[in-house]
Structure 1
Amino acid sequence: APGDAFGEAAEALAGAGLDVHTWVVLAHNSRLGAEHPDTSVVNAYGDRYPWAPCIAQSATRAYLVDLAAEAAVRPGAQGTELESLGWYGLAHLHAHDKTAGVGLGDAGQYLMSLCFCPSCRDGYGRQGLDAAKLAGDVRHALEPLWRGNGTPDGGWEAVEKLLGARTAAGARAWRDSVARSLQEEAVAAVRAQAPDGFRILLHADPASYHCGANAGVDPAHILAVADGVVVPCTGGAELIAPFAAQGRGVVAANLTVVAGMGGSPATLAADARHAAGLGANELRLYHAGLAADSDLKLIAEGLSDLA
């Protein structure tokens, strides 16, 4: 946008009595992958995901840390929410992606998201794994899905069954260490640029092996690093509980409230109370800025009910 679009919006919001917080998307960048293909996640078949920068690569990590600090700390902002500060994978490709023809399930999504770029191959080796064998194991485990022979379920237990417990643990140990250190570095970089009282939240999922916009994290670790988390609650608020159990920080329930995006504005009050019962202490309305007037009316009624 021409001029200082952020500054104008921040000034208008502050003038209306609203706090201003930035929202920064990090490890999800199709332009970066298109212009610098070597930065992308490479799956077990050798395909690159240009929308998914590999967070194990040193140059990419430096870029993401700098981006977090530069974009988060803007004039008039009192805090930030950092999205996709962790591993990205297969899900949420491009504007017209069509990948629903084969049901991958939780385990299949993870296997299709494992990276085999040179940095990750070295990392697996440091965990005592043969990267070439791991890639072959992943392809072998996925083969029944392409043939329509069922979708593996059971979360992490299904991954262990498909790869073997030791191999699965080694791959996860590498990826968890990479994500944790990046989260620490990015939050520290933002704090170094921010004024006192600036609040840093992460969009997060409590299963550390999960990939995507809501980065997989260890709840105890991330709430010792950042000031809190924003937790996806579309379809249920159960992911709130592992964060709330830590007894610290902001735990914001992110409720989809636009009917055309699969949300339920009519049940906002009930959904928010359910999330609060599980330990949420703040609320996010995703994505109210795209709502029709009919949705906004229901959202206003729900907020009034909560008040």
Structure 2
Amino acid sequence: MRASAFVYPWDVNGDPAAAGLVAGLGVAQVTLAAAYHSTRALTPRHPRHRVVTAEHAAVLYPPDDRRWAGRTLRPHPAGDWAPGDAYGEAASALADAGLEVHTWVVLAHNSRLGAEHPDTSVVNAYGDRYPWAPCIAQPATRTYLVDLAAEAAVRPGARGTELESLGWYGLQHLHAHDKTGGVALGEAGQYLMSLCFCPVCREGYGARGLDADELAAAVRAALEPLWRGAPDDGGWAGVEKPLGEANAAATRAWRDEQARTLQEAAVRAVRAAAPDGFRVLLHADPVTYHCGANAGVDPAHVLTVADGVVVPCTGGPALLAPFAEQGRRDAVLAANLTVVSGMGGSPDTLAADAARGRDLGATELRLYHAGLASDTDLTAVREALAAF
């Protein structure tokens, strides 16, 4: 099984040993961030720094002014955490170490976009905006995301891309000093709190026979028991029960259509900009109503659009099965495993976890994250890959 390690440019640039260290893990490929959200990241081996603070969502290369001139929605270059063509510098060093470089592009997860253009954000049933979550139903936002996907994915020398957050983002978000865990929301609560009521989505619900005001009131009523401590019924039944099957299905139909057509448009744009043989993968969850970095997709559909998917498997490989069941022998099914023990990963069980993923249809591995892992974690990764 081919393995790839996730890396940030700041893990590599300024550290002459970094590219060789990654190559020495036994991976054939790196997935290198080209467009990324705000973050605070540890760099445990870098000779110049130990903590990098990426203050806002940014592209990690110089954006093309010809593409973005005069446009209200446009990407921002990074600050001093990734100056100039940080992506290109890191990609060259990694390629020189014998690694195949693929881009890592984060799309509908952008707090700066929401801060500068609040009207682009998801609005919940209470009227609260989620500045980290662009509403993917809005035409201008969709155009921005598609163009960003094409530009950030197809960087010089890249052999493929992995598109993250290409779908709905909702309530769930690791925000600075996050304090949203006081009420445990399951799948139903997360969905209800992630339904968007911006003007475009309100119109979309109306086109499916729903009154947006009545729907918002029903969502608030459905959530009220959860705020009082009632257990979340969980799953789609927990949405259907309070909203009614027809109303729940109508909201999902609207959201599924917006996500599906955005994914189609973004992949088309990347392919149009890319050389022959360029591989396009989506970070994906096989349940369409799920939100987040691993966008909810229809497995049967997405594997006719992209070359494959990257699937979260740190908690177990079960999410691979719906993709493997499609029988697409040419599709890439990459099991994404966290190998940073301090972030809930288990590098010591990597070989066994990879084998379980293979048994459920995984064709490749993704290792999150070579730059964040301790030396001890990386030693375990190196030994596991050699054994596997």
* TM-score, normalised by the number of residues in structure 1: 0.98
Cα distance, 1:2 vs structure 2: 2.8
**Deviates most, 169-178 or 6-15:** 6-15
SS of 2:141 mapped into structure 1: helix
Alignment of 1:213-224 (within 5 A): 213-224=293-304
Q: Give the corresponding residue for 2:224.
A: 143
1:290 aligns with 2:372: yes
Q: Give the corresponding residue for 1:276.
A: 358
Q: Give the corresponding residue for 1:194.
A: 274
Alignment of 1:34-49 (within 5 A): 34-49=115-130
SS of 1:246 mapped into structure 2: coil
Cα distance, 1:97 vs structure 2: 1.4
Contact 2:232–2:238 (CA under 8 A) maintained in structure 1: no
2:258 to 165, 168, 178: 178
Cα distance, 1:92 vs structure 2: 1.1
Question: Residue by residue, what CA displacement relative to the aligned partner does 1:57-78 show, whole Å, maximum 9, x if unpaired?
Answer: 0000000001000100000100
Cα distance, 1:141 vs structure 2: 0.4
CA distance in 2, matches of 1:85, 1:298: 32
Cα distance, 1:11 vs structure 2: 1.2
Q: Give the corresponding residue for 2:17.
A: none
Q: Give the corresponding residue for 1:163.
A: 243
SS of 1:253 mapped into structure 2: strand
Contact 1:83–1:203 (CA under 8 A) maintained in structure 2: yes
1:23 aligns with 2:87: no
CA distance in 1, matches of 2:91, 2:244: 51
2:157 to 47, 52, 76: 76
Structure 1 residue runs of 4+, over 2 Å off? 1-4
Contact 1:104–1:152 (CA under 8 A) maintained in structure 2: no
Question: Residue by residue, what CA displacement relative to the aligned partner does 1:240-268 show, whole Å, maximum 9, x if unpaired?
Answer: 00011112210000001100100011100
CA distance in 1, matches of 2:176, 2:377: 24
Structure 1 gaps of 5+ residues are none
1:14 aligns with 2:92: no
Contact 1:201–1:226 (CA under 8 A) maintained in structure 2: yes
Q: Give the corresponding residue for 2:347.
A: 265
1:247 to 327, 331, 343: 327
CA distance in 1, matches of 2:289, 2:105: 22
Cα distance, 1:300 vs structure 2: 0.9
Going by fraction, where is helix more abundant, 1 or 2? 1
CA distance in 2, matches of 1:87, 1:99: 19
Cα distance, 1:23 vs structure 2: 0.4
Name the aligned partner's letter for residue 162 of structure 1: P
Alignment of 1:70-149 (within 5 A): 70-149=151-230
Name the aligned partner's letter for residue 240 of structure 1: L
Contact 1:237–1:275 (CA under 8 A) maintained in structure 2: yes
Question: Residue by residue, what CA displacement relative to the aligned partner does 1:83-119 show, whole Å, maximum 9, x if unpaired?
Answer: 0000010011422212111011111001000000000
Contact 1:251–1:280 (CA under 8 A) maintained in structure 2: yes
Contact 1:69–1:189 (CA under 8 A) maintained in structure 2: yes
* TM-score, normalised by the number of residues in structure 2: 0.78
CA distance in 1, matches of 2:176, 2:326: 37
Name the aligned partner's letter for residue 285 of structure 1: L
Structure 2 gaps of 5+ residues are 1-81
Name the aligned partner's letter for residue 179 of structure 2: K
CA RMSD of aligned residues (A): 0.8
